[in-house]
Each structure stands twice: as C-alpha cells, then as structure tokens.
Amino acid sequence: MTDEDENGSGDPTPLRRPGEGVPPKPEGPKTSVAADVAALAGGLKTTLQEFFRPVVTTEYPEEKTPRSERYRGRHYLRRYDNGLERCIGCELCAAACPVGCILVIAAENTEENRVSPGERYAKTYEINMLRCIFCGYCEEACPVQAIVLGPEYELSDTSREKFIYTKEKLLEPLPPDVQARLSQAHAPLPNPPPEGGRAPNR
Amino acid sequence: MSDFYNNAIGHWVVVAIAMTLLLFVVLTATAYTVWFERVALGRIQRRPGPNRVGPFGLLQLAADGVKLAFKESFIPAKTDKVMYVVAPTIAVAAAFLSWAVIPIGIWYNVQYWIADLNIGVLLVFAFSSLNVYAIMLGGYSSNNKYSLLGGLRSAAQLISYEMALGLSLVPTFMIVGSLRLRDIVDYTVHWGPYTGPLPLIILTPIGFVIYLMAAVAETNRAPFDLPEAEQELIGGFLTEYSGLKFVMYYLAEYVNMITVAALATLLFFGGWYLWIVPPVLAFFLKVVFFLFLYIWLRGTLPRLRYDMLMRLGWKVLLPLAIANIIVTGVVLVVVQG
C-alpha cells in the first residue's frame, strides 16, 4: 500500500524519491471490533424504531394532499352572471402562451346572436392540454378574466384527441370554491386582480 | 404405522405425498416471504408496502406471478442458449432439493420427512453450493458484461463464504456427534435439575454468529448481494433474464433464504422445541424470526465493497471459525475427559 492510497486527511505528503523508505502511515481514527459492533447495533436499533413508527404515505387515490388555493390545474372559461361569455376573442391568451397551445378564432357579435358583451367573441376556443405547461400566463394576460386555471390535476385520458379541450368543455361551470374565490377577488371588473402574489405586470 | 413406512411401497407413497406437500408448502411460504419482506422493508422506510391486491396486499404475489408468467420470455442474441435456459432451472432445483432433508414433518409421530439422512446438513450445503453454478452459468451465458461480472463475483463470494459456513457448524457436529438434523435438534442435556432439549446457540454462540453472516452471503442477500448489485451491475447475472426464467432465480433466492432460516432454527435454536408452544407453531415462529432478521439487515446495512467482502470472509470469518473448532475441541476433551 502506498501513500497515494490514503485518502487525503490534511497536508499533502511530499513525493518520495526512489530508494527512500516508505513513511509511516498516518494514524487514522482508532477502530475496534467493539466500536464496529456498537455501530452495527445502533443502525439496527434505528431501523427497528422506524419499523414501529406510523406510516407516512398518503394513500393517493383515496386521500389527497391539500393543494394551494391558487393551484394551476385545468382551465375554465367563465361567464358573467347574466349568462354571457366573458371571452371577447382578443387572443391575448394565445399570444401570451409560451407553448402555443391555445387556439382562438374570433367572430363578430351581432344583435341576433350576442355571445359576449364586447364587439367580438370566441367562435372557437381550444386548448391542447398535452402541450399546456400550466404556467397561468393566459389567466394573467386575459383583460376580462375570462380564462382561469382551476384545481383539477387528474387529467389523464385515453386518446390524444380527448386532450384538445374545446370551448364546450372549457365553459363547464367552475367548482364552487373557485367561483367564490374569484367573485371575491375580482368583484369590480375590469380592475387588475388585487390579490397578493400575482403581480399586475401586464 | 411404522410397518407401513418400512414396506417398500408404503415408503414411496409417503415420500411422494411428502414431496407434493413440500412443494406446495415451500412455494406458498416463498410467496408470503416476498410479501413479508416487502411489507417489512416498507415499514422500515415508513411506507405501507403492497396493500392493493387482496386484504393487506396478500395476493400481491399472485398478481406479480401472473404478470411475470405472461411476459415474453426473451433470449438475447448470441447467448449460449442451452446454458442460458438451464441455469435458472439449476437454481430452482437446487433450492428445492435442500428441503428433502429438512425435517419439518417430525411432529406428531411422523417418523421422517422425505429423507432422514445421517448426513443431512452436508446434503443441504452440497445443494446450496449448486447455486453458484446457476449464477455463474447464467452470468456467463447471457453475453453481457454486467452478467459476467455478477457471475464472477458470485463465484468468488460463494467460495469465500462456503468455507466459513461449513466450518462454523463443525463445533455443533462435534458436540452432537451427528450430522443428522433430527439428532441435532433432539440434542438433550442433563444439567442438574434440567433435562431436556438445548438450543445449541448456548454452546456455540460464535458458530452461530459466523453462520448468520456466512448464510446471508451464501444466499446473496443484502448486504452481501454483490452478484446482483442493482446500482453498479444493473442486476448482475439477472440483467438479461425476464419472464419465467427470472421468476426461477427469484424463487430460488427466496427458497434459499427460507432454507438458511430453517437451518438456523434447526441447528442453533432448538428446532421445534419451544417451551409449551406447539411444535409446528414454534418452528414457524423461529423461521419467521430469522426471515425478519434478514429483512431487517437488508433494510439497515449498505452493500459491502467487494474487497471488504473478501476481507471479511477470508481474514475474519474463516480464522474465527477455525479457532472456534479448536477451542470447542479442547473444551470437549477437557469436559468429557
């Protein structure tokens, strides 16, 4: 065994010249059989204690961990209380989307067919949920708070086509707790959202 | 009853029934050992372990078995096909053959189990040594460097530990004077007022410690699971095995684990004698205790480095075992005059 084999415990030892004797090995920490066995017993004791402590696993499908109020899950398109859609087809959400997963095709509102209070409305509103990264920029970009990210995250499905969320699907009623939070937060529209954390940086 | 045993046909009837029963019992025990291990390891890591299939996850192994049985049995290109297929069968056959001499049917006046050999322990070790062929040939024939490394490690490891394992038991044989497992369990002492069976761990504690360590190494269990070594050798000799061939290795590993647990019970812990506990239950409890010990060790200790493994085997366990034999011999001579 040469001195290179010793792991560096401090000062670098000078190289030996040929013929020079091997320097004595530096004294490591004393090891004894008793200490080793004690260490072994300590480890076994620890694992045995863990064995009798309660399990910490969350049994996922049955019980779920709490999520933040502002969790960003699947999207919803909102309506006004009188039933008109909020979306005015401005496509700012599509412009803000970093992955380009939102498709908005706008159409003019007419007297016979009034869908939204503005000039135009979204004739087609599709989100490709496979591409969506749930960043929430669309929610921030929207001038009328039409699109909002809800709490659902279990979005698995059986075909790629089913992940193109159409306007019909997105217009489904919001979960009541999200509804309550939003109506509290954005009572007078179109003010910027006053809730803390989300900076009104548009 | 004994007439029936001594009759040639009766003998074979008994043996055939015993073998069938044994296959069933050991397979079931193996399945529940795997379940036990997964649950116990889970609890050590504060997880629940399998709990989805059946009550308490008890049917998990049935589900796993079905899944593995229906997997494609894949043979990689350029393997030594005969060896590749034969190796797992050696493992499983050797694992089951050991059970021929383990006397688990001795209770309630059943006179012997499958074989009541006077060299029972020797036979068990002969068969458990066959396991090295299974692992080495499997590693060699897979045409995979990791498999080969796993096989080579296994060969080195088994040779190193087999010696210590065998020698650790020699004091027991010296004290009892027989290699027949039944005689070792029935070893009785007359110490003053006490006359009765004695767990031999009291007489050979060092032999027991050596046996325990060497047996873990012999069955390739953590912390001596170098032939598998998932992290360094991506599974070692098991790398290229899948489907039923994988099941065979897996089964063999757990049967061997139960075998060494049963042997520890028989050789050191007085077999089926435990105060007033019924013999079947006593034997079962002792084996479960040893299985838990192995699982506990696996949940606690990190894998040894290869050179540490060799050092422990050759420089610690082997000299200790030999010293143990010498000391026991001297003591026996002194005590017995």
Token digits for B246?
Answer: 């994988």
> Of A43, A52, A53, which is closest to B301 when you measure between CB atoms?
A43
Give the pLDDT of residue A197. 45
pLDDT tens profile B155-196: 888 888 888 888 888 888 888 888 887 777 777 777 767 777
Mean pLDDT score of chain B: 82
Tell me the C-alpha distance between B260 and B254, whole Å. 10
Token digits for A40?
Answer: 């072994």
Nearest C-alpha in A relative to B46? A55
- In this structure, of A22-26, B80-84, B237-241, B297-301, the range with the lowest mean pLDDT score is A22-26
Whether residue A200 is predicted with pLDDT greater than 50 in this model: the reply is no
Whether residue A190 is predicted with pLDDT greater than 70 in this model: the reply is no
Q: Which site among A47, A50, A57, A60 would you substitute to test the B interface, given the most B Cβ atoms closer than 10 Å to its Cβ?
A: A47
Give the pLDDT of residue A132. 92
Say if A41 is an interface residue toward chain B (CB within 8 Å). no
Residue A191 pLDDT level (bands cut at 50, 70, 90): very low
Q: What is the ipTM of this complex?
A: 0.71
Residues of B with CB under 8 A from a CB of A: 40, 42-48, 51, 296-297, 299-301
**pTM for the full model?**
0.75
Give the pLDDT of residue A202. 43
Tell me the C-alpha distance between B110 and B272, whole Å. 14
SS3 string, B13-60, reads: HHHHHHHHHHHHHHHHHHHHHHHHHHHHHHHHCCCCCCCCCCHHHCCH
Instruction: Report the share of chain A in percent with pLDDT over 70.
Output: 82
Tell me the C-alpha distance between B259 and B23, whole Å. 13
Whether residue A156 is predicted with pLDDT greater than 50 in this model: the reply is yes
Residue B141 pLDDT level (bands cut at 50, 70, 90): confident
pLDDT tens profile B247-269: 888 888 889 889 888 888 888 88
The whole-angstrom distance between B52's CA and the closest CA on chain A is 10
Give the pLDDT of residue A12. 63
Tell me the C-alpha distance between A65 and B258, whole Å. 40
SS3 string, B52-92, reads: CCCHHHCCHHHHHHHHHHCCCCCCCCCCCHHHHHHHHHHHH
> Of B47, B48, B300, which is closest to A47 when you measure between CB atoms?
B300
Give the pLDDT of residue A5. 47
The whole-angstrom distance between A50's CA and the closest CA on chain B is 5
H or E, element range at B289 = helix B279-300
Give the pLDDT of residue A131. 92
Give the pLDDT of residue B57. 79
Residue with tokens 């017993």: A41
